[in-house]
Chain A
Amino acid sequence: MFVIDCPNCGARDQSEFTYAGEAHIARPTDSENMTDAEWAEFVFMRTNTKGLFAERWWHATGCRKFFNMLRNTATDEIHAVYRIGEKPPKVTADLPATPAGEASIGSGNDAVKIMTRDEEAAS
């Protein structure tokens, strides 16, 4: 389970928090002039990043405030928490070398770690 460092309350167990999805999606200001495709983009389309991802959490059973988090979705490592309205800080993360690849640690996907014939022979 994640231990999440709420900017207001400090480190707490994940079960106190509610996930609130991708961060930094601004509500459109010119809504009466938007096309259906623009609405679809705002309402439905998501980046769904494999790697560093900015997302919102809500401390539902604590301070009851929303805040942002920068997490590596390929390893689940939490890199930073920051307040609503702030920009994500610069961090270095252990990212997969290819778009659909696995990071060096923290991936539960052993299917991509199968041994080559040579390694098989050597083991």
Chain B
Amino acid sequence: MKRYSALELIRQGLGGHRGWDRVWRKPEPKPSYDAVIIGGGGHGLATAYYLAKLHGMTNIAVVEKGWIGGGNSGRNTTIIRSNYLFDESAAIYNHALNLWNGLGQELNFNIMMSHRGVLNLAHDEGEMRQLKRRVEANRLNGVDSEWLDAKEVKNFCPSINISGDIRYPVLGGTLQRSGGVNRHDGVVWGYARAADALGVDILQQTEVTGILTEAGEVTGIETTRGTIRTPKVASVTAGHTSVMASMLDIRLPVESHPLQALVSEPIKPILNCVVMSNAVHVYCSQSDKGELVIGAGIDAQLSYTQRGNLDIIEHQMASLMELFPIFSRLRMMRQWGGIVDVCPDASPIISKTPVKGFYVNGGWGTGGWKATPGSGHVFADLIAKDEPNRIAAPFAIDRFTTGALVAEHGAAAVAH
């Protein structure tokens, strides 16, 4: 892998930029691999990278039906934080946050990581009590978290409206200073380039259409480009998690919904952090290009269409106007949807299955981007050793039978 650096940029510039290598190869599928990852999103590529780098499994492939990063990885609003309520969640999201630090250096790719701080606002007494409880729980778990009153919120984020005359006035909020945003494509391409350099085959435009088994063990996959033999198949397909599991008659507690986002025309820097509000239900940050990036909740209906309905957008714009009247004359430029796989307890599934050699990583719902490196890291461990480590273990599928749910729905503020 040719290292990217300022010096290399100058050198290539002098040569008219004709000497750059392709960022990853475009290999033909081999007849067999030691493991196959289904899904070339951030989580799938991270899994492949850590399998190759930390577990020496380099004869592996990532199979992607479209282009890498074309799913939720390329559609999400990249909010990163780890201030979840429960110990199990704090452990995995903090693990991810630690890996985000320095990931750009490690991958030698600019992922534009920006720890600009994430504000979660409270608009009523109940919410205030609940968010304060979360601050305390976070601190016990070593997650950086603090409570700000309304004035302190305004000091930290001057463009916000804290006047008492709106329907749900801002009463205060929590701040995670280490939270922030990054560049989704950069992460996907960085992991892909690094995994490819370690020997991982990235097979794009290759859809998995079946999973082969013999005597209850995985033996391979059927794809639109032929059969591939492998003893280990790992599904990291986000919205399509249930579709993959149903190929082996495995039932999952997951439902797939559209989640939409939109961006405004670009403007000069005005919003210095990420602002999320549960009660009025909207969240917003400003990209380095200057666009406001705005999102809210899922469309209620189950769907795989990667688009949602307008009432959701109308509602979140109304909420945005309350919190930021200053944005009222901005035009919106683009709107899109991704399909998120929601679990009943709003926590992911990272698990072995009843079929030996078939592993599932999914159910991240509306908030899996922040976990990308941590998710890939612990999932690689599970695939290589066939045993979950301490961080992954609470997220096994059997929690829906034992009742040991990690119920983050109401607890984790707006779910992104």
| A contacts, CB < 8 Å to B | 1-2, 14-15, 18-19, 21-22, 36-37, 39-41, 43-50, 53, 55, 71, 73-76, 98-101, 106-112, 114
Contacts and interface: CB of A to CB of B under 8 A. Distances in A.
B66 interface: yes
Nearest to B343: A44
B226 to A, nearest CB: 14
Best-buried of A18, A40, A109, A114 by chain B (most CB within 10 Å)? A109
Interface in B374-416: 400-403
B71 A1 contact: no
Given A1-B311, A48-B242, A100-B207, A112 B305 contact: no
7 A-B pairs closest in CB distance:
A111-B66, A111-B70, A108-B306, A48-B242, A44-B253, A19-B300, A108-B307
Nearest to B309: A1
Contacts of B67: 111, 114
Interface stretch (B9-17, B191-199, B244-252): B244-252
Nearest to A76: B305
B263 interface: no
Interface size range on B against A: 35 or more
A98 B300 contact: no
Contacts of A109: 66, 70, 305-306
Contacts of A107: 304-306
B287 to A, nearest CB: 21
A114 B251 contact: no
Interface string B48-80: 000000000000000001110011000000000
Interface in B246-287: 246-247, 251-256
Contact of A76 (B253, B303, B403): B303
Interface of B: 65-67, 70-71, 205, 207-210, 224, 237, 240, 242-244, 246-247, 251-256, 300-307, 309-311, 336-337, 344, 400-403
Contacts of B255: 21, 46, 48
Contacts of B66: 109, 111-112, 114
A81 to B, nearest CB: 14
Contacts of B304: 50, 73-74, 107
A110 B67 CA distance: 10
Given A45-B253, A48-B255, A73-B302, 15 more contacts: A14-B309, A14-B311, A18-B300, A21-B255, A40-B253, A41-B251, A48-B242, A48-B252, A50-B256, A71-B301, A73-B305, A100-B244, A101-B207, A109-B305, A114-B66
5 contacts: A41-B251, A101-B207, A108-B305, A108-B337, A111-B71
For the complex, would chain B's binding face be called helix, strand, loop or mixed by DSSP majority?
Answer: loop
A110 to B, nearest CB: 8
Given A36-B402, A100-B65, A108-B306, A50 B311 contact: no
Contacts of A21: 255, 302
Given A36-B401, A98-B209, A45 B306 contact: no
Contacts of B71: 111
A99 B401 contact: no
Contacts of B251: 41, 45-47
Contacts of B400: 40, 43-45
Contacts of A45: 251-253, 400
B406 to A, nearest CB: 13
A45 to B, nearest CB: 4
Contacts of B253: 40, 44-46
A33 to B, nearest CB: 16
A1 B311 CA distance: 7
Contacts of B252: 45-46, 48
Best-buried of A39, A49, A50, A55 by chain B (most CB within 10 Å)? A50
Given A48-B242, A112-B207, A73 B303 contact: yes
Contacts of B301: 2, 19, 55, 71
Contacts of B305: 73-76, 106-109
A45 B246 CA distance: 12
A74 B258 CA distance: 12
B399 to A, nearest CB: 9
A100 B223 CA distance: 11
A1 B304 CA distance: 15
Best-buried of B70, B209, B303, B305 by chain A (most CB within 10 Å)? B305
Nearest to A37: B401
A98 B311 contact: no
B238 to A, nearest CB: 11
Contacts of B300: 18-19
B118 to A, nearest CB: 28
B257 to A, nearest CB: 9
A40 B300 CA distance: 22
Nearest to A98: B209
Contacts of B210: 99
